[in-house]
Structure 1
Amino acid sequence: MTVNGNSSRRHLRVAIIGGGPGGLATAIALSKIPDVTVNIYEQATVLREAGAGISIGSNTWNALELLGVADTLTSGHPTWTVLNMNGRSGEELTRREKVRDETGRPPIRTQRTKLQSALLAHVKPGILQLSKRLARMVDKGHEGVELYFEDGTITTADLVVGADGIRSVVRDTAWTDYEIKFTGTTIWRTLLPWDDVKDLDPRFEITGWWHTPTTHVYFSPVGEGLWEIASRAWQDPKIHSANKKSWGVPVENSHVESHFTEYLPQIREALARVPPGGWREFAAFAGPELAKLTAWDNKIVLVGDSSHALSGAFGSGAGFAIEDGYILARALEYWKNDTSKALPLFDAIRLPYYSRMYAHLASEADKRAAKLKALGNPTFDEQVKNKIITDGGKDMSWIYQNDIGAVWKESVQQLEGTYT
């Protein structure tokens, strides 16, 4: 029995706030649905991705296939092997060898701009509007949501999709008591030619993390002769603070290098070869789990980082955002654009998924804390080994091999089963 019956399809005006991977993917998915008008409102004057590299694994490939985008993403470095290393001694702590899966595509590390360009190529002309910074929203009841932009323009939408990241204005407006806080972690990212560093250590050509107890340096080729450095340092957030708006700001080379003086000489030399002005700084913020991803009587929905403020946990944020956009579109299509039914279905599918992530991270943090306590006075090397998580020590296929198309089919079968 089909639960959506033969009811007429309503016309739906959708405003997507944010032109990152989540916003672009959601627009692609929604544009395939009849009687849906989609607009993306992006605050930047020029669409470009902040950051350096991004990982594309099985779950993300699955979602890109469903959107018809996968074949457009052709650049990247295969990451069949991933290392975790002691950054001071050079000891190899773990080596993960990935296996081929049903997608038939290799896991890759690529430039964030390459994913953005691949998605943008499938966004219909006229949908993306730049220089549109959202100032506020007003709930107009049955008339929809009124959106006010800093350039003075106003528009009205039946559905607002918050795809505006961990610092989401949409979330902060609709969930007024929600707060993100500085985690203590600061990230510095850059890209430089592989030829500039390939003489330093042959292991630098293998994707991997080099650790100390409170920092790490991530190295990986990203294709097209480029090499990525993503370095992180943690300081106690009770003592150190950060600006919530600190995202992709330029920073002096000496400031970055000062956090990694304990590392092997070749690692310090790699950091020193970054050209002046090459580093960008990102302050990591995170927030608590949301009880719902929808608000304002099913006129607001969150996708991507705005819906789960985990600050880069699991290294698959773009994949999660693309999955969100796909499920949102399928739910709206199934319920003939009836948001009162489609958005609760979206919540029912995606909310438990993110809840499981929060629970997993809390469990792993507890385990690491307990192990350190048991060690009493752990050495430098013991602290480094304790921070390494290899797939969380358990099967993580529910994330990295997630097949969002199969998840949708199973959800529909369960839904229709309740109506038979």
Structure 2
Amino acid sequence: MTVNSSSRHLRVAIIGGGPGGLATAIALSKIPNVSVNIYEQATVLREVGAGISIGSNSWNVLELLGVADTLTSGHPTWVILNMNGRSGEELDRREKPRNLEQRAPVRTQRTKLQSALLAHVKPGVIHLSKRLTRMVDKGKEGVELRFEDGSVVTADLVVGADGIRSVVRDTAWPNYEIKFTGTTIWRALLPWDNVKHLDPRFGITGWWHTPTTHVYFSPVGEGLWEIASRAWQDPATHSANKKSWGVPVDNAHVESHFTEYLPAIREALARVPPGGWREFAAFAGPELSQLTAWDNKVVLVGDSSHALSGAFGSGAGFAMEDGWILAQALAYWKNDTGKALPLFDTIRLPYYSRMYAHLSSEADKRAAKLKGLGNPTFDERVRNKIITDGGKDMSWIYKNDIGAIQYNGSKEAHSSPVRCIR
């Protein structure tokens, strides 16, 4: 990055201290004349969830941020399974090509990624117990942020990194609406030693399916094992009370959704200690036509910008990519948000638009396949929902090199070995 002393001073307020917010702060801290503050509503900064996947795309952006060498824990995921949860039949085995020159794809604890990022955030940047309640557009003076504790700050640029239930998005895009998808997720971590003798396949990352549910198992390193179980119910009749996000839930309630599964799977679920489950209601929202608002004083990163409910299993990677690209756009335009934020839109909007289009296409294909079967059996319905990397070349996501972006001054930006905006 070229240091330019003529760049204007920019006050940036990042709302949310998850991977996207932390990565954005790290990237912005490398730009001259930018002051960064993160405002996080939690009283203690901690991740909610269990495991997280770090693939090639995420490693690429972690390298650019200077964080990759700090993240050292995880379970290599060279092999991914899809299994019939009732019969135990192996439906799909995907073995990723091993390249000794690249870092291994891993499944690790969400807290490990957070700790690695935190190690690179400058002291005094993070402010806890700051629940945003109101944003006011003050024109040329910036954006006024009001918090639940009564404090008020003003920023030249507000970065909404506050997740799928984003207050920033809901304020700047008041007509945007997310809806319950019908899927509820229950997550837990437990010692690998407690379950490893139940089935040798439990040591391989993978999904175990029935037609409307699945159970995801994976080691996550440091002797821990992750369960992420999902069940779908008609959102038309179950949406009213589905507001949960990381709340404790009784073991019996979780286990009641997976009674059709193999005995070893049911036993694994039963070995989660009382209080070990956390429930998450999955929400999603429509594609946005812009990720910037209020005359380029507000920008969205991560799940706030594309409410896809974790559809590609790489949400943290996308959020970190957003933060890095935002920083490079600001550096390129010497902190001129009027030019930098449209550039950010130029790069990231088509990327997320492609994701929405892909999901729609895949859903149509699955529906057409089931319809063609007439009255599909249990096993046929299970085979129709195999989770892979998308059924075709998905390197544009999972091998994305966000550092290889060429911008030629026009309205187009694309991948290239030339890193012109750095």
TM-score in terms of structure 2 length: 0.95
Pairing 1:387–2:385 present: yes
Distance 1:383 1:244, change over 3 A: closer
Structure 1 residue runs of 5 or longer lacking an equivalent are none
1:148 to 130, 146, 149: 146
Q: Which position in structure 2 is the counterpart of 1:411?
A: 407
Aligned 1:200-211 pairs, distance under 5 A: 200-211=198-209
Partner Cα distance (1:319, 1:210) in 2: 25
Q: Which position in structure 2 is the counterpart of 1:30?
A: 28
Q: Which position in structure 2 is the counterpart of 1:108?
A: 106
Q: Which position in structure 1 is the counterpart of 2:210?
A: 212
Is the contact between residue 242 and residue 283 of structure 1 (CA under 8 Å) also seen in structure 2?
Answer: no
Distance 1:412 1:325, change over 3 A: farther
Q: How many percent of aligned residue pairs carry the same amino acid? A: 86
Alignment length (residue pairs): 412
Pairing 1:40–2:38 present: yes
Q: Which position in structure 1 is the counterpart of 2:419?
A: none
**Letter in structure 2 aligned against 1:134:** L
SS of equivalent to 1:261: coil
2:291 to 282, 293, 313: 293
Distance 1:126 1:285, change over 3 A: same
Q: CA deviation at 1:243?
A: 4.5
1:134 to 132, 135, 138: 132
Q: Which position in structure 2 is the counterpart of 1:325?
A: 323
SS of equivalent to 2:238: coil
Q: Which position in structure 2 is the counterpart of 1:282?
A: 280
Q: Which position in structure 1 is the counterpart of 2:417?
A: none
2:263 to 262, 265, 271: 265
Partner Cα distance (2:408, 2:17) in 1: 29
Pairing 1:98–2:96 present: yes
Distance 1:172 1:103, change over 3 A: farther
Q: Which position in structure 2 is the counterpart of 1:74?
A: 72
Distance 1:15 1:241, change over 3 A: same
Partner Cα distance (1:196, 1:396) in 2: 35
**Letter in structure 2 aligned against 1:276:** P
Is the contact between residue 5 and residue 32 of structure 2 (CA under 8 Å) also seen in structure 1?
Answer: no
Query: Higher helix fraction: Structure 1 or Structure 2?
Result: 1
Q: Which position in structure 1 is the counterpart of 2:119?
A: 121
Q: CA RMSD in A?
A: 1.7
Q: CA deviation at 1:411?
A: 2.4
SS of equivalent to 2:136: strand
Q: Which position in structure 1 is the counterpart of 2:51?
A: 53
Partner Cα distance (1:217, 1:331) in 2: 40
Q: Which position in structure 1 is the counterpart of 2:395?
A: 397
Following TM superposition, where does structure 1 have runs of at least 4 consecutive aligned residues deviating by more than 2 angstroms? 100-103, 242-245, 411-417
Is the contact between residue 346 and residue 411 of structure 2 (CA under 8 Å) also seen in structure 1?
Answer: no
Partner Cα distance (1:103, 1:41) in 2: 38
Is the contact between residue 63 and residue 404 of structure 1 (CA under 8 Å) also seen in structure 2?
Answer: yes
Q: CA deviation at 1:416?
A: 10
